[in-house]
Structure formats: structure tokens, C-alpha cells
Chains A and B, each alone.
Chain A
Amino acid sequence: MEQNQLITINNLVKNFPIGKGKFTALNGINLTFKTGEFAGLVGPSGSGKTTLLNIIGSLDIPSEGYANVLGMNIGKLNIKNAAILRRLHLGFIFQTYNLLPVYSVYENVEFPLLLINMSASQRKKAVMDALDWVGLTDKIKSRPAQLSGGECQRVAVARAMVKKPKIVLADEPTANLDAANSHNILKMMMKLNEELKTTFIFATHDEKVIQYLKRKIKLEDGKIVKDEIIKTNKEL
């Protein structure tokens, strides 16, 4: 693995069984990501964005080829080590927020830290910092049901960021948000990307997201058709 190379993907193929046959969702993917990227997988619906993101997130495994994330061979990782990889180094943001409904905002953000044996005082500081980044320190006692969609997604961002992971994977994070909230969330993530050097990888077809990306990887029918670095990233 080269220096700075967080993720290396070689000749990756992903097949899903369908009836007696199979459906190839990803076909011969070659990709690398470096620390601090702010990249997006874009492309039409069904092109394989989520599938690729799930493999990078060690939630799924390649059918063929090789995917290395932070030095771990995803295809060979056992369930336990995959869980440890996610617990320590990966943050997830979902289209549907996926907050734990019975937990307060504070408890939701605290959750990832409970899994990594952090002392109570460190935990408290980290949670408050994360809620400060997303501007929700005044809502710590609220339940997800009491929040707007935008607020929920900000909690989800805080939850993904609280342990300062190396990589954040965000699948359609703005699909359920209006324009103002989408911009707000994206700006926040850009700031975190710059300050903490966290790598962000999106899967999206939302123009509002795409305009913030520093790298666009375009998928079509499970293949990469374009991989471009955006130099003239719109300054906002």
C-alpha cells in the first residue's frame, strides 16, 4: 500500500444472486483514495454506488478482486475484525438518518464512543464538541422524533464524526433534505474535512452535493466511466 493511500480497489466485481443466475452490480472497479479526500460516487440510479460504498464500509464483501481499506483486505476480513474496523475508523451517514429513536440526541452521539471504551469525561467532551460542530448543543435532551429532518441529519453527522474516524461514508445524505439544509450540512462536512483531515466519500446523484465535491467518480452499469478531480471547486 502506498503512503497516504487509504483505500485501494483492484478489479473489483460484485455479483448478486438473482434466482438461479446472478446480477453483476460492480464490474472491474479500480480505485484509490488518499487521506483527506472529499469525493463522491455519482451516477444514475442502479449504477452501483451504494454497493461500492457498502464494500468500502466492510458491510459487504467483493465477489472478485481486491479491496483494501486502511490496510485491511475486506474480502478476507472476518466478521469480528470488520466490526472492529468500522468501530474504530469508519463513520456512516445514511439517507434516512438511522438515529436510535429511543435515545436522546446526546445518547445517539455518545453511542459510538460506548463501543470503544472511552472514559466518561472524555466521552462527554467529545460528544459536546461534536454537537458544537453541528450547532446542536441546545438540543441534547431531545429525541429524534422531536427534531426536523435537517436537525436529524446534523445529529447523524455528529454521530459519525464524534470518534474522529479516518473515513466517513455518506449514502445520499441530502436526499431527504431541502436545499437550505443540504447546503448547511455540506458546508459543515467540508469544514470538518478541512479541519480534521477526515476523508469523505459520498454516494449521490444530488446536484447540491455534487457541486461541493473535490473529486467525482462517475459510475454507469457497475463501471467507472469518469474519475475527475475538480480544481475549480466553487468557493462558498
Chain B
Amino acid sequence: MLALKLAYRNLVGAGLRTWLNVFVLSFTYILIIWQFGMIDGWNYQAQVDMKNWEVGNGQYWHQNFDPYDFFSYEESHAQIPELLKKATSEGKATPILISQGTIYPDGRLQSMILRGISPEQKVIAIPSAELNVKSEEIPVIIGQRMANSCKLNQGDITTIRWRDANGTFDAKEVKIVKIFHCNVPSVDAGQMYLSLENHQKMMQIPGQATMFIIDKNSNINSNISGWEYKSHEFLMKEMTEMIKMKKVGGSVLYFILLLLAMLAIFDTQVLSIFRRQKEIGTYIAMGMTRKQVVGLFTVEGAMHAILAVIIGAIYGFPFLLWQMKIGISMPAGTDNLGIPIAEKIFPVYGLGLIISTVMLVLIITTIVSYMPAHKISKMNPTDAIKGKIQ
């Protein structure tokens, strides 16, 4: 195509200015891919972590259970139904008993959630097998966040207080037998795990549970009276939405960058159409139609994007692949957001992401190039040839 050939000659002939624009543009689109790839990678990782540590392939909740209402916990436990008992024995699900308790780090009262879990379970990644120790105190495990906030170390003994099913307060010593690392804050912060049996004894409700987690490789969703099925998607919804919001928020910066790159190209185009009047007149005198000249200038502008894609691919793709391989370290403290964040996130770049980013940059650049180029078609060729300023 003639326009492509001529546009390429003109761009390369224009030298430094071209390469500056091309570089900024390539940098922008690589950054956009990187940013979205990171968020997608994060999303993916968070999904996997939540599935492994908390959500499984869905849950059954006692009909009164509301995770956001601590007072509902007292009312939300019942005998384990047959179907789930069977599923538990087959390793397809595991019961959890949930109640509220208090702990006294440094003599301060702090509320927490006690979770009774079977030491034999393999449904979620909580290292509940560690609860299988003989000790005078009740063995418990906690996560790193909980350990930090209560200043507890492995082997520490501390007192906890709770209210049993009859409303009577009781207190006992517990021993921290294990501190685990987990990327999912809700599994860790303010949570203490003890064996289901111990918890049932403490609460004086043998054989009861608050909820069930279904194994990620199993599928149970039949109706069980008194229990409500919560799908995996439902349990993930909040996190997915939060990450989506992050995606929008995080991209604002990159779109500003894209806007700046577009401004540079717009400016280059306006300037060149102004400065190159004589050239435009000459093209017309040599028999190019105005449409062809407008096309040439538009292609010239759009070619910034084409060159940017090529240049970006040369330095950007190795960078992106390298990031995918080594991961991106996340600064400590980011998990205050309540979204699971690993120490390292491995970006995921979908083909859709790459293609849509490239197309976006191409289309916007073309539009931005066309707008000023369109003015050419209004030029009077005899004035243009002389390079008269209009």
C-alpha cells in the first residue's frame, strides 16, 4: 500500500520526534498490559488462595448463620445432617463450628472467632493436623496476622474466655502449637483454630457444626433442610468485585499516560500539517487526491502506534515474560485491604488483554491523527504550494 510506504518514509525521515513519540506510546501500552496483567494475576492468585484456604467448592451454612453478625453465631449451630456426615467421612466436605471468644493479649480484652475444625480434614489448607498433639492445655493454631496482633509465639500459653451454648461463661488455657502463613486475611486475622471435638465440648453441643466447606474437587449442592447452600461464586463475589474496582482505579493513571501520549501525537500532527503546507500542496500538484493526502497523514500518525507496537514488543515482551516468571513482590502491609495478596504476584497476560490494548492504542492514535489531517482537505492547493500561513 502506497500510503504505508510513504508514511514510513516520512516518519523515519522525521527522525527524533518520531522516535520520542513512538517510545512514549510503546511505554504506555506495555505499562497498561503490565498493570492489567498484574491485576489479573492477583485476581487469579486470590481466587486460588481463597478456594484453597476458605471457600472450597462452596459451603453449607446453618440457616441462621451470618458471618457479619457475631450475635448470630450463638443461634447458628445444629446437629450434622446425614448427608454431610457421609460426605465428611468420604473427605468431600468438612464441618466447622464457629463461636465468639475473647483473648487477653497484654491484659487487653480482644474479641476473636473460634473455629472448630477436624484435625483429619484435607478440604482446606489450614494445617489442622497440628492440632493432633497431647497437651495439658487445649492445642490451638493461629495465623501470622493473629500472632502479630496478639503478640503470640509458637509454644505460648494464654487464656481464652467464651460463652457456652447455655450462656455460661468459661475460661481455659490454650497453647499455640502452630503459626501458619496464609495470604487470605479473613482466614487469619482474629481467628483461632482448635479441634472440632474440643470446641464442641467447650460449647456443650456435641455433634454440632455451624457450616461445611465442600472439597474443591467435589460437587454437593442438594437441598438440606435447615442449611443453606452457598456457591463458590457467591462466596467469591465480594473479592472479585473489589479487584474489579482496583482494576478501574489502577488504570486511571495509565489512561492519563495514554492521554498524554495522544496529546503528543496530536500536537505533532497539528504542527506537521501546519509546517508541511508546501509539501501538501506539492503532493496535490503531483496528482495525489486530497483524500490520499489526508490518508497519508492519518497513516503517518497511526504508524506511530504501529511502530510503538513493534518497538514495545522488542523491549516490552521480554520484560513482561520476565515479570511473569519471577513475579512481583508486594510491599508488606498491602493486605490491610482485606483482599488476599501473596508476597509475590505472578502477572497473567491473556491474549485478549494484549490484543485489546494494542487495538485500543491503534484506534485512538488513528482517530487523533485523523482529526487534524482532515483539515488538509479544506486547504486551497494554490495557497498550500506557496506555503502561505492560513
Contact = CB atoms under 8 A, between A and B. Distances in A.
A77 interface: no
B278 A102 contact: no
Interface stretch (B146-154, B199-207, B287-295): B287-295
Contacts of B381: 59-60
Interface residues of A, number: 29
Interface stretch (B6-14, B97-105, B133-141): B6-14
B382 A86 contact: no
A180 interface: no
Interface string A110-145: 011011100000000000000000000000000000
A128 to B, nearest CB: 19
B281 interface: yes
A87 B382 contact: no
B130 to A, nearest CB: 73
Contact of B284 (A50, A83, A88): A83
B285 A57 contact: yes
Contacts of B289: 79-80, 83
Interface in A74-109: 79-80, 83-88, 90, 92, 94, 96, 98, 100-103, 107
Contacts of B282: 92, 94, 98, 100
B2 A115 contact: yes
Contact of B287 (A54, A88, A103): A88
B184 to A, nearest CB: 59
A159 B387 CA distance: 20
B290 A79 contact: yes
Contact of B2 (A59, A84, A114): A114
A115 B9 contact: no
Contacts of A90: 287
B112 interface: no
Most buried by A among B10, B285, B288: B285
Given A54-B382, A60-B382, A84-B287, A103 B13 contact: yes
> Top 7 closest A-B pairs, CB basis?
A102-B13, A87-B287, A86-B287, A83-B289, A98-B282, A92-B285, A59-B381
9 contacts: A57-B285, A60-B381, A60-B382, A83-B289, A86-B285, A92-B282, A98-B278, A112-B287, A115-B2
